[in-house]
Structure 1
Amino acid sequence: MKHSFIPHALLLACLAVASITQAQQPSPAAPKQPTPEEIKQRIQQRIDAIEKLGWTREGKGLLGDKAEIVIPKGYRFTAGDGTRKLMEMYANPATNRELGMLTVEGLGPWIIFEFDESGYVKDDEKDQINADEMMESLREGQKQGNEYRRQHGLPELEIIGWVVPPRYNEKTHNLEWGTRLKSLDNNGVSINYNTRLLGRKGVMEVTLVCEPEEMQQMIAEQEKILAGFGYIEGERYAEFREGDKVAKYGLTALIAGTGAFAAAKMGLFGKLGALIAKLGKGIILVVIGVLAAIKKFFAKLFGARQQPPGQ
């Protein structure tokens, strides 16, 4: 499997062009298009900023004082601070619950880890999960998500349907589901695949952000990656003791309560479409003209990857 980083590179290019255009535009009537060299310089600055976030490429990534994750070959890990900064770079709202993220070298798909210290979530609703009802709840929550997006100048999103309906693994205490989302400004489609890893004191929320064509391979790959996840001693689900805090909700609420937040997390793809619409075809042609140079930047900084991660 070879991940495509073109959408991420194009987003960097669009952000760079937007910044330069704003800085060099004397008046609305006389816009000045940036040169390819100016675009490349701006992109290089953003790549340098991303590289400075603090990445670990081997061993284990510490997810706060809750858990750890083995860093697979071909991936890199940054902790909570780096995750929040990267989210902000891509116009995604931070929750301040981020503990870390894995990303393919070259800014491919993301796997984001956040912890909700809600308490021990009982799994006695495992046989009561109704996919149709959950989808209705997600779409209702989407309305709140779109209100947030309108307030922050982001395009609205629509939940098209399930990619993977909700399912619970009693052995691993993992709850999983996946949704397909569409940006209403340009009809771009993205995948948001969610995994909830139940712990003694709360839930580790794992969100896979990828493109539709990467979905099947990335879901299988994430399953292997999460085999390297583990709560530290004292935080495991099986270590629950009488008197521990118990969450006020069950498994179904873990799904139904994510509509607005999940939509906000997908701002990366919606932002790309909004920038393209705003900047216009002329500037986008300039951007496309330097994509080859962007590839070289990524190859130089992150290393060209000929084999899929973990192989």
Structure 2
Amino acid sequence: MRKITTLLLMICTIVCLANDDLTSEELEYLKMLDSVQAHFKYQTGSLKLNSDLAVLNLPEGFTFLNKKEGEFVLEKLWGNPHSDIIGLMFPNGVSATSDTFSYAVEITYTEDGFVSDEDAKEIDYDDLLEQMKSDADLENKDRLKNGYPSIELIGWATSPYYDDVHKKLHWAKELKFDGSDIHTLNYNVRVLGRKGYLNLNVIGDIDQLETVNKDISKILNSVHFSKGYTYKEFNPDIDEVAAYGIGGLIAGKILAKAGLFALLLKFWKIIAVGAVGAFGVFKKKLFGHKNED
């Protein structure tokens, strides 16, 4: 039902835009987008993540939306399941309501314990991919049950690479959402720490792979754990150890979070006209009234 409603809305909006004949509902939605853009506070420079957990040094031109604003973008504007994020990072020239949207970076933190990297040199990534495809088929049952489209794992867009010196892992998957001819790029970055790891998930259409590859070094170098949380400070006497290594980290839950920007990026503006009302509530909660205590 959700997919059908979105598709009908997409078709209606595209036709109306082509005829320069917007309905009052669509005009209201476009006004809402302008209001969103005006109220969001895009941050730049050096930022602390989760208090003193880590530091994000945004590359020149990149911007960041905090947790509350980022969750609104993901869930209300882009129609994704709830995700407990730290924030969203956007590359140069891109915003949450940009006409020239290319990709965005979802930043989260997982505290499952210290992830041992002893298996990093022993992994057969071709075998791992086949296992992940099987897991994806099983996970699709839950996605369909919850009203989200199934997702096919096509393969590696970029094979996994682990930087043993800086304790950073990255790889990219090519995904296909049911009902969409446009394949999705899911570029994953993991920064290992003492108690868990940071996730920097880069999402865009597969045709953005070259752009992301050009920016990936900037993204990789932009974040590091603060003192007290770094990988080398792991203390086996007091710190917990994760139940998986590098292989398990890559395989993980393949699609559980691949609501991931589950949008048709070419038509993201018309995903939720209902976001008009949602933004009114969001704006009141986020910005409040200046005279309130």
TM-score for the superposition, normalised by structure 1: 0.71
Matched, 1:201 2:195: yes
Go from structure 1 to structure 2 and tell me whether the alpha carbon gap of 1:117 and 1:219 turns closer, same or farther (over 3 Å shift): same
- What's the Cα RMSD here? 2.8
2:79 is aligned to: 91
Deviation at 1:227, TM superposition (A): 1.1
Matched, 1:67 2:54: yes
Query: 2: CA distance between counterparts of 1:88 and 1:199?
Result: 28
Matched, 1:244 2:236: no
Deviation at 1:192, TM superposition (A): 0.3
**Among 64, 67, 71, which residue is 1:80 paired with?**
67
**Among 155, 166, 181, which residue is 1:161 paired with?**
155
Query: 2: CA distance between counterparts of 1:47 and 1:144?
Result: 40
- 3-state SS, counterpart of residue 261 of structure 1: coil
* 1:25-40 superposed matches below 5 A: 35-36=21-22, 38=24, 39-40=26-27
2:49 aligned partner, one-letter code: L
Q: Does the 8 A contact of 1:192 with 1:207 survive in 2?
A: yes
Go from structure 1 to structure 2 and tell me whether the alpha carbon gap of 1:34 and 1:217 turns closer, same or farther (over 3 Å shift): closer
2:66 aligned partner, one-letter code: A
Matched, 1:54 2:41: yes
2:254 is aligned to: 259
Query: 2: CA distance between counterparts of 1:69 and 1:267?
Result: 25
Query: 1: CA distance between counterparts of 2:138 and 2:202?
Result: 22
Query: 1: CA distance between counterparts of 2:250 and 2:80?
Result: 20
Q: Does the 8 A contact of 2:59 with 2:218 survive in 1?
A: no
Q: Does the 8 A contact of 2:56 with 2:223 survive in 1?
A: yes
Query: 2: CA distance between counterparts of 1:222 and 1:95?
Result: 23
Q: Does the 8 A contact of 2:106 with 2:201 survive in 1?
A: yes
- 3-state SS, counterpart of residue 200 of structure 1: coil
Query: 2: CA distance between counterparts of 1:260 and 1:216?
Result: 23
Go from structure 1 to structure 2 and tell me whether the alpha carbon gap of 1:94 and 1:141 turns closer, same or farther (over 3 Å shift): farther
**Among 104, 125, 129, which residue is 1:135 paired with?**
129
**Among 37, 40, 44, which residue is 2:31 paired with?**
44
**Among 11, 18, 23, which residue is 2:9 paired with?**
18
Deviations 1:33-83 (A, max 9, x none): 994263243123034235534321x22233213112112333220122222
Query: 1: CA distance between counterparts of 2:39 and 2:256?
Result: 27
Query: 1: CA distance between counterparts of 2:185 and 2:252?
Result: 18
Matched, 1:106 2:92: no
Go from structure 1 to structure 2 and tell me whether the alpha carbon gap of 1:115 and 1:51 turns closer, same or farther (over 3 Å shift): farther
Q: Does the 8 A contact of 1:146 with 1:157 survive in 2?
A: yes
Q: Does the 8 A contact of 1:181 with 1:192 survive in 2?
A: yes
| Corresponding residue pairs, total | 248
Deviations 1:159-202 (A, max 9, x none): 11111112211011111111111122132211001011100110
1:215 is aligned to: 209
1:45 aligned partner, one-letter code: M
- 3-state SS, counterpart of residue 221 of structure 1: helix
- 3-state SS, counterpart of residue 114 of structure 2: coil
Q: In percent, how many aligned pairs have the same letter?
A: 24
2:280 is aligned to: none
- 3-state SS, counterpart of residue 61 of structure 1: strand
- 3-state SS, counterpart of residue 234 of structure 1: coil
Q: Does the 8 A contact of 1:61 with 1:69 survive in 2?
A: yes
More moved, 132-141 vs 170-179: 132-141
Q: Does the 8 A contact of 1:167 with 1:177 survive in 2?
A: yes
Deviation at 1:232, TM superposition (A): 1.1
2:31 aligned partner, one-letter code: Q
Q: Does the 8 A contact of 2:185 with 2:204 survive in 1?
A: yes
TM-score for the superposition, normalised by structure 2: 0.75
1:286 is aligned to: none
More moved, 145-154 vs 231-240: 145-154
Query: 2: CA distance between counterparts of 1:235 and 1:246?
Result: 14
